[in-house]
Amino acid sequence: MDFTLSDEQKMIQRTVREFVKKELMPLEQEVLKNEREGRPGLTDSVIKNLQEKAKAAGFWGINTPEEYGGANLGPVMTALLQMELGRTFVPFSFGGSADNILYDCNEEQKQKYLIPVINGERRSCFALTEPGAGSDAANIKMTAVKDGDHWVLNGEKVFITNGNEADFAMVFAVTDKEKGANGGVTCFLVDRDMGWRSEYIQTMGEWGPASLVFEDVRVPEANILGELGKGFSLGMKWIGQGRWLIPARAVGASERLLQMAMDYAKTRVTFGKPIAERQAIQWMIADSNVEIEATRWLVLHAAWLSETGKDNRHYASIAKLYGSNMANRVVDRVLQIHGGMGYTKELPIERWYREMRLWRIFEGTDEIQRYIISRNLLRGHVKVGELMD
């Protein structure tokens, strides 16, 4: 059992950390200013310029197969990179990637949807959640009714990331109510110009999701992604691939915040001593460090299972549940250590505070993760104390 990173992994990790420090962190004040004035943190042109710089350093399509021009670094390296990107709240991601289920496109669809997304020419969104079907994804109500060589879609999707910007959506609809989720749900590739519209949803954070409204939207039969009736498994495939990436990002963000707290505690003096010498502060720092380290290894274990072809769903849920809650505890302690200054908008702590609260809901709520974990144990799918071999 060797937890040492390879020389290549260390080199990639250092390169990304330097990129974050040199290219992204200097933009933080600009991002805060823009967001607080109701504008996107970064313009598309700035993001594209940053992605080009990252591409020049070899970071393009980090999980995209090499046949599509990607680096295909794998889950473990992806987790390490997300930890580094998490050190800043600047809204940036490496280019050259596409949603995992778009690789289920047929050859014609790949030319129209997958390849343009990888090349940054088109933007997609994943549209599964509905007003009455969030964590209970199998309960979606949107309908798709066959009409000749088209399907007519009616319904609404909510909290759709990139829904306001996307020019096509991967939309899940009921095509056979009698068969239920397993066999009665189909995924469609639906261009915006086919007639759906998006409506911006205001949130307490900077995440601006959308409602997507479909009123008699006609979609060609050729735009079915995968197979008719097999959409629910595609939806679960999409959800599962990102669950452990949220706690990976939480590790990087929490490390940055903890360092801010320690730096402040060494200089803030009360009653003649730096607060770093107060036991109350020391315990908050110690607890935060322990929880960050625990999350790191939960994430890397889930990533390693994925990389070695093993079923990581149970362990991804553990990492997601623990890591998202860890980040919320850490940012709360960091704000407390900063006192009144932590509560102001002069520091970015409150910005992280609002973003991290979403992590306990996004990609499966705390309650859903607990349900998954307990169900696996009670049904014997996973045994207490038994390591994955």
For residue 28, indicate whether it is catalytic.
no
Instruction: Name residues whose C-beta falls within 8 Å of residue 10's C-beta, 6 or more positions apart in sequence.
Output: none
- What burial class does residue 141 get, using C-beta atoms within 10 Å of its C-beta: 0-12 exposed, 13-18 middle, 19+ buried? middle
Task: Determine the length of the chain.
Answer: 389
SS3 116: helix
State how beta strands 185-191 and 210-220 pair.
unpaired
- Residue 176 has which token pair? 């056979």
The amino acid at 82: Q
Range list of β-strands (E), the chain: 124-127, 143-147, 150-160, 168-174, 185-191, 197-200, 210-220, 224-225, 269-270, 273-274
Q: Which of 84, 255, 355, 363 is catalytic?
A: 363
Could you tell me which of 70, 78, 58, 54 has the C-alpha nearest to residue 102? 70
DSSP-derived secondary structure letter, 153: E
What is the distance between the alpha carbons of residues 170 and 152, in angstroms, rounded to a whole number?
A: 15
SS3 17: helix
Enumerate the active-site residues: 363
